[in-house]
């Protein structure tokens, strides 16, 4: 389906952003590939481990690893040109955030979890690949400090559940959330919307 | 029961210490909430994942997330006043350490694990929320460098198992360990007891 | 069997390298023991959690914890003399890398996983104890930046599967891979073979 195709685009895009992150830390090709896989597949893996939902996606479908490894290696060759594609990347990353979120919600819903857990499963899938990437790159996770990102994932999950509860069809709910979440993320980037910061000495 | 009430106090107190930690790293409200949840619920989650004990506590009881999120947000408002409550916090944190430890031991014991694993499950529950918090805040875990903390968790677990083996009733064992472990932790803070440091160049 | 004996030598050696790492960060005895356990047993634990393969090795055999804790404490006493044993350590670490890899592959194979997952399970077992150690010591994992290490683990896993598919007996395959992987690692150290680095600003 639509979500599946967007998922494959999204893991490739996330793998590329992970590879560039690794390159900024002067990692070797092995490190680049691992960071790319963790960025693209780590959020979903964390969700499945937390929910006890086995086997993990990439264990059942090792071809996902193929896409992320391929995208990571491609990124190292294209790195200089990717600079000009920065905007494209932000768009793909935004699309990936929302697609990952909706997939994560759907997985938790099918496993029969409560609404709060469904929303959290979506957020873990959407935003925590980047958290794991930053931990491995020895940085404070960007997601905890930057403009609205994980919060959009949470809002998308809540909207998705509300639409389903209102009787809207699954496919239409996915499309509406995909459009709405994506638009919200682009607006957050454009106008640099941020969560209030908490500074404590 | 008693342990359950102490548990709820403890996760709220741990969530607040986590939130203050996040504030020291200038995180936004989302980061604050995540670090608070990881500090309060991460140790128990790690224990359950290591033991394959599903569903995790907060997945079955999403209201625990409500308490920690509420406590974290309260901490951001009360931050300046919390400074005057520093001693109260150290006490609540000490109570939490011991309560988490005993709950972790009880969970592993009911699952039929060997004594060494029961003691480790207690220590993971008691001390590793803080380890995960420090990893996400990009620091060397305090627990590995500070005055006696995790070791008191280990000793409490050992005492708990010994009391049970000596035929002492479950409730009495919990009370004795709670009192003893709490007193030991306060003494460790008061007299700055430390483990010997290992320094290697 | 042979692999079992080598495994016990390897976890002791890995525990000692973990303890020295902790000593370089001025950790206390508790931190030393935890870092040693994570270095020696963390790779296998991560593999089992990712594959949903419970109970974890050391949960079933708590005596493994005894060996690693004993080795870690011994390392703190012998630290000054261990310096003269540096070469011995590199050899034991190389042996451990290959033994961990083969054990990890065997575990995943017996669980019926696909070839790509078997090879990855070997690499997680062989190389990710060190990754977890570096994350807890607040460093960018060495494995992502240093001379050939995890890649040798991957190659060993691939060779192991190829030999089995060619009909070579299990024991002979293990011995051949053990010898070949070990030699390859020593050559990589000797001639400082490295993966190409990807540097991106």
DSSP letters spanning chain B: -HHHHHHHHHHHHHHHHHHHHHHHTT-BHHHHHHHHHHHHHHHHHHHHHHHT--S-HHHH-THHHHHHHHHHHHHHHHHHHHGGGHHHHHHHHHHHHHHHHHHHHHHHHHTT--HHHHHHHHHHHHHHHHHHHHHHTTS--GGGTSBSSHHHHHHHHHHHHHHHHTT--HHHHHHHHHHHHHHHHHHHHHTT-BPPB----
Q: Is the pLDDT of residue C24 over 80?
A: yes
Q: Would B135 be classed as within a structural domain?
A: yes
- The SS3 assignment for C166 reads coil
Task: Say which of C19, C45, C62 has its CB closest to residue B114.
Answer: C62
Contact yes or no for C200 and A30 at CB 8 A: no
- The sign one gets for the Cα dihedral A185, A189, A191, A197 is positive
CB atoms within 10 A of CB C124: 27
At A123, list the tokens. Answer: 């957020």
Q: Would B142 be classed as within a structural domain?
A: yes
- The sign one gets for the Cα dihedral B65, A49, C57, C86 is negative
Q: Which residue has the higher pLDDT, B21 or A52?
A: A52
3-state secondary structure A151-189: HHHHHHHHHHHHHHHCCCCHHHHHHHHHHHHHHHHHHHH
Contact yes or no for A114 and B62 at CB 8 A: yes
Buried b or exposed e, range A5-22, using 16+ CB within 10 angstroms: ebbeebbbbbbbbbbbbb
How far, in Å, CA of B89 to CA of B61, rounded?
25
Residues from C contacting A (CB-CB < 8 Å) are 49-52, 113-114, 116-117, 120, 131, 135, 138-141, 143-146, 150-151, 194-201
Q: Which residue has the higher pLDDT, C54 or B146?
A: C54
- The sign one gets for the Cα dihedral C188, C189, C192, C196 is positive
Q: For residue C94, is the peptide bond before it cis, meaning its omega torsion is within 30 degrees of 0?
A: no
Contact yes or no for C30 and B197 at CB 8 A: no
Q: Would C196 be classed as within a structural domain?
A: no
Nearest alpha-carbon partner for A104 in A116, A89, A119: A119
| Averaged pLDDT for residues B46-69 | 95
Reported as a single tens digit per residue, the pLDDT across C53-111 is 999 999 999 999 999 999 999 999 888 887 777 788 788 888 889 999 999 999 999 99
Under 8 Å CB-to-CB from A60, ≥6 apart: which residues?
none
Q: For residue C55, is the peptide bond before it cis, meaning its omega torsion is within 30 degrees of 0?
A: yes
Contact yes or no for A136 and C131 at CB 8 A: yes
| Averaged pLDDT for residues A126-140 | 90
Q: Would A53 be classed as within a structural domain?
A: yes
Reported as a single tens digit per residue, the pLDDT across C138-157 is 888 888 877 788 999 999 99
Q: Would A83 be classed as within a structural domain?
A: yes
Count of CB pairs separated by less than 8 Å, A with C: 78
C5 pLDDT band, cuts 50/70/90, is confident
How far, in Å, CA of B13 to CA of B98, rounded?
13
Q: Is the pLDDT of residue B36 over 90?
A: yes
Under 8 Å CB-to-CB from B31, ≥6 apart: which residues?
A141, A143, A144, A145, B22, B25
* Cβ contacts of B49 on chain A, cutoff 8 Å: 49-50
For an interface test with C, give the residue of B157, B200, B201 to mutate (most C CBs within 10 A). B200
Mean pLDDT computed over every residue of chain B: 91
Q: Which residue has the higher pLDDT, B161 or B143?
A: B161
Q: Which residue has the higher pLDDT, C122 or A196?
A: C122
Q: Is the pLDDT of residue A195 over 80?
A: yes
B159 pLDDT band, cuts 50/70/90, is very high
Q: Would C197 be classed as within a structural domain?
A: no
The pLDDT score that the predictor gives to residue C100 is: 94
B123 pLDDT band, cuts 50/70/90, is very high
The pLDDT score that the predictor gives to residue A116 is: 96
Task: Say which of C52, C113, C194 has its CB closest to residue A28.
Answer: C194
Q: Is the pLDDT of residue A82 over 80?
A: no
* Cβ contacts of A141 on chain B, cutoff 8 Å: 31, 136
A81 pLDDT band, cuts 50/70/90, is confident
Note the Cα A196 to chain centre separation in Å: 22
Q: Is the pLDDT of residue A179 over 90?
A: yes
Chains contacting B (3+ CB pairs below 8 angstroms): A, C
Domain housing C91? 2-190
Residue holding tokens 């902790």?
Answer: C22
How far, in Å, CA of C115 to CA of C121, rounded?
10
How far, in Å, CA of C81 to CA of C83, rounded?
5
Q: Is the pLDDT of residue C42 over 90?
A: yes
CB C91 within 8 A of CB C186: yes
Q: Give percent above pLDDT 90 in chain C.
A: 61
At C85, list the tokens. Answer: 């044993």
DSSP A55-85: S-HHHH-THHHHHHHHHHHHHHHHHHHHGGG
- The sign one gets for the Cα dihedral B119, B122, B127, B128 is positive
A146 pLDDT band, cuts 50/70/90, is confident
The pLDDT score that the predictor gives to residue A80 is: 80
Q: Would C31 be classed as within a structural domain?
A: yes
How far, in Å, CA of B93 to CA of B71, rounded?
14
The pLDDT score that the predictor gives to residue C6 is: 83
Q: How many domains does chain B have?
A: 1
């Amino acid at each position: 389906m639509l979500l599946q195709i967007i998922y494959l685009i999204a893991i490739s895009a996330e793998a590329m952003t992970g590879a560039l992150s690794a390159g900024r830390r002067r990692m070797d090709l092995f490190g680049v590939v691992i960071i790319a896989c963790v960025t693209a597949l780590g959020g979903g893996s964390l969700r499945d481990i937390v929910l006890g939902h086995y086997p993990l996606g990439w264990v059942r479908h090792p071809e996902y690893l193929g896409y992320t490894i391929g995208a990571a290696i491609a990124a190292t060759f294209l790195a200089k040109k990717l600079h000009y594609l920065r905007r494209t990347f932000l768009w793909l990353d935004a699309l990936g955030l929302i697609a990952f979120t909706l997939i994560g919600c759907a997985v938790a819903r099918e496993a029969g979890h409560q609404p709060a857990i469904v929303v959290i499963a979506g957020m873990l899938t959407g935003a925590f690949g980047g958290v794991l990437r930053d931990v491995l790159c020895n940085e404070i996770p960007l997601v905890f400090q930057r403009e609205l990102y994980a919060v959009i994932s949470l809002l998308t999950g809540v909207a998705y559940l509300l639409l389903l509860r209102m009787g809207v069809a699954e496919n239409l709910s996915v499309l509406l959330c995909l459009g709405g979440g994506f638009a919200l993320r682009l607006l957050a980037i454009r106008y640099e919307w941020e969560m209030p910061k908490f500074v404590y000495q």
